[in-house]
A and B are shown apart, each in its own frame.
Chain A
Amino acid sequence: MTSSFTRRSATGLLLGSALAPALPLRAQERYLDVRPGGQFRPIMIAVTHFGGDPDAGRMLSDIITNNFSRSVFLQPIDPKSFVDRTTNPDQPPQMDAWRVVNAQFVVTGRGQRTGDGRLKSEFRLWDVSTGQQVAGQQYVTDPNNSRRVAHIISDAIFTRITGEKGFFDTRVVFIDETGSKERRRKRLAIMDQDGQNVRYLTRGDELVVTPRFSPSSQDVTYMSFGQGDPRVFLLNIETGQREVVGNFPGMTFAPRFAPDGQRIVMSLTQGTSSNLYVMDLRSRNTTRLTDTSAIDTSPCYSPDGSRIVFESDRGGSQQIYVMSGSGGGAQRISFGQGRYSTPVWSPKGDYIAFTKQGQGSFAIGVMKPDGSGERILTEGYHNEGPTWAPNGLYLMFFRDPGGQSGAKIYMMDVFGRGEFPVPTPSFASDPAWGPLLS
C-alpha cells in the first residue's frame, strides 16, 4: 500500500474522496459475475458528457467511454440515442429516460479547473433499476494527469459492477518497430493500456526485444544486443538507470520477474543447450533451475511463486512444462496437436496463456495449469507472445500479417469475446502489461 500511495504522490495525484451518498451496504454484491465463464450479457452503461469545463469534462467522458468499449463486460450506449442530455452531476438522472435506452447504469461527472490551476474531476455511478447512486468519487490533480484520472474512474466503475479488479490505470511496455524487416530498428517503448502517452525508453541503436514489467517497481527487464553477447538488462523507467543482469558466460534471454519483483528468471545458452536460471536482484546470487541439453526457455512463475511454467523441446518439439519454483523435475502439460510456446501464468492463477503453432498458423490460447480445458482465442498467419492484464481478464499479444508489413498489438478478453487493436505510432510487438498503478 505504501508504494501505491507513493506512486500517486509522485504523479501529483491527490487521493480521491467519496462523494455522498455513501454506498448502501447491499451494494457490495457484484452486478455482473464474470467468474462462471463466457456466458454473459454485457452490462449496458450510459456515460453522459461530463459537465464542468467543456474540454476537461468531455475528455474525461471520452476516455471512459473508449475504455468501456474495449472492456467486453461493459457496453457503452451510443450517446446519439440518449434521451436525457442533462449533465449536471449534482442531480439524480431521470431514470425513466435511461430505461428507454436500455441503460442499466448511468455515469455522470464533471471536470473543472480550480482556482489554483488544478483539475477537479468527479463521477457518480447510478443504478437505473433502483435509482440509487452506487459509487462516486472526486479527485483533485495536476491537469497533466487528467488521462490517469479518467482511467482511475473507469477502474472504479468496472470494479463496482463486476467485482473484479480494474485494469485501465495500467501501462504496457512494448517494442516499437520501424524500417525494413531486414534492418528493423527496434526501440523499447511504454504506453498507457489504451495506446496513449507513448514514450521511448531506448534510442534504437541497439536491437532490443521481449521487455517485461516488474510487478512491484518501475523496472523493466529485456534482452538487448550491444557489444558482445546479447544479454538480459534491467532498466528503471523513471531514472533511466540500466544494468546487465548477472555475469553469465553466454547469451541470456527470455527474462521475466518473479511475482515478488526481487528475482529474474531467464534462459542462458551454453553450447547447444539453453537452460533456466534465476538471479536474486538483492544478493546477485544465481541459481540454475534446469539441466538439459535441449532448449528450455520462456519461463514464468505462478502468481504465488511456487511453480514455474516454461517451454522446452526436450521431448522433441516445443511443449509446455511445469516445475517447482526451485527447479527440478518437470511435468509436461500440453498434449494437443502442434507446438506450444511462450507460456504465461495468469495473475489470478487460473489459466496459462500460450502461443500454439500448427498447420501453418500461429494461435493464442489458454489452458488450466494442469493442461486441461484448452481454448484457442485467436488463430491466423502469426499471433505470438500473450501477456496478461493485472486482473487476469484480458490479454495482449502481437499479430504479424507477414511480408514487408509488420506486427501490431491486439487486446482481447480471456473468453475470446472481443478483440481490439491497440493503436501504436508504428509497428509494435512484444507487449508486456504492467501492474495496476493505483
Chain B
Amino acid sequence: MQFATKARALRLAGALVAVLAIAACAKNPADDASLAGAGSGAGGYAAPGSPQDFVVNVGDRVFFETDSVELTPTAQGTLDKQARWLQQYNRYSFTIEGHADERGTREYNFALGAQRAEATKNYLVARGISPARMHTISYGKERPVAVCDNISCWSQNRRAVTVLNGGQS
C-alpha cells in the first residue's frame, strides 16, 4: 500500500505541475474550437459571457493521452483560459465530465474518467475557481464524441468537458 500510494501520488502531482514536452507525441485535437461541438460552424454570434462564447472562444474541453490523467501543456493552456473566463463570469456553476476512449474495460474507464474530471477540477481550483461551483461526473467510455476504430477518434474521446449549467455538452 505504501508503495502504491506513493506511485499514485506522483502521478497526480504530475497532473498539476507537468510541463514536460510530451504533447508532441500524439496529434491531439487540443482546444481547437471547431471540434468543440456546440455552437461552432453555425456562423452564429456568440455573445460574450454566454455558454456559446465559452465553447467557441475559450474551449470547453481538454484531451488526455492514453490511460493518462495528466494535463498536457495544451490542456493546461485551455484550462487557464477557462479559469479566466469563469472568474469573469462567476454566475455560472458547472459540471466537469470525465470521459475515456473505448480502448479500455468499462469499469476501469469509469474510474479513469473520474480521475480526469478530478484532475481538471483540481487545476481550476488551483487557478482560483471555487470548488463550490463545480460538480464532477464520469461517463467512462459510454459517451464517445467520435466513433471509428483508430486513434483519430480515440484521442478525441479521452477528454474532460466543462459544461456550464444552462449550456450543453
Q: Are B7 and A315 in contact (CB under 8 A)?
A: yes
A292 close to chain B: CB less than 8 A:
yes
The contact string, 1 if C-beta is below 8 Å from chain A, for chain B 1-31, is: 1011101110010000000000000000000
A357 close to chain B: CB less than 8 A: yes
Binary contact readout B135-148 vs A (1 if CB under 8 angstroms, 0 otherwise): 00111001111011
In contact, B105 and A385 (Cβ under 8 angstroms): yes
Q: Are B138 and A269 in contact (CB under 8 A)?
A: yes
Please state if A385 and B106 are interface contacts (CB–CB under 8 Å): yes
Q: A295-B115, A403-B148 are in contact. Are A342 and B5 (CB under 8 A)?
A: no
| CA of A207 to CA of B8, assembled, Å | 30
Q: Which of chain A's residues have a CB closer than 8 A to the CB of B104?
A: 357
Partner of B142, one of A180, A207, A251, A384: A207
Alpha-carbon separation in the docked complex, A404 to B145 (Å): 12
B149 to A381, Cβ gap below 8 A? yes
Are A267 and B107 in contact, CB atoms less than 8 angstroms apart?
yes
What 1/0 mask marks residues of chain A from 157 to 189 whose CB sits below 8 Å from any chain B CB?
000000000000000000000001111101000
Identity of the chain B residue whose Cβ is nearest the Cβ of A356 in the assembled complex: B105
Bound form: Cα–Cα A388–B143 in Å: 28
Asked if B114 and A269 sit within 8 Å, CB to CB, the answer is yes
Q: Is the CB of A272 within 8 A of B144?
A: no
Q: How distant is B120 from chain A, measured CB to nearest CB, in Å?
A: 11
Report how many residues on chain B are interfacial, defined by Cβ distance under 8 Å: 34
How far is B153's CA from A404's CA once the two chains are assembled, in angstroms?
Answer: 12
- For A, the interface residue count at a CB cutoff of 8 angstroms equals 52
* The residue from B7, B108, B147 contacting A316, defined by CB atoms under 8 A apart: B7
Instruction: Tell me whether B112 and A342 are in contact (CB under 8 A).
Output: no
Given contacts A253-B111, A297-B110, A355-B105, 19 further A-B contacts (CB under 8 A): A181-B147, A183-B143, A210-B106, A225-B139, A229-B137, A230-B110, A267-B110, A272-B119, A274-B111, A292-B1, A292-B5, A292-B8, A294-B4, A294-B7, A316-B7, A317-B67, A357-B104, A357-B105, A402-B148
Closest 3 CB pairs of A and B: A402-B149, A314-B4, A295-B111
Q: How far is the CA of A207 from the CA of B147 in the complex (A)?
A: 19
Contact (Cβ within 8 A) A295 B147: no
Closest A residue, CB atoms, query B148 = A403
Most buried by B among A272, A274, A381: A272
A225: which B residues are within 8 A, CB to CB? 139
**Do A272 and B110 have beta carbons less than 8 Å apart?**
no
Interface presence of A138 (CB below 8 A): no
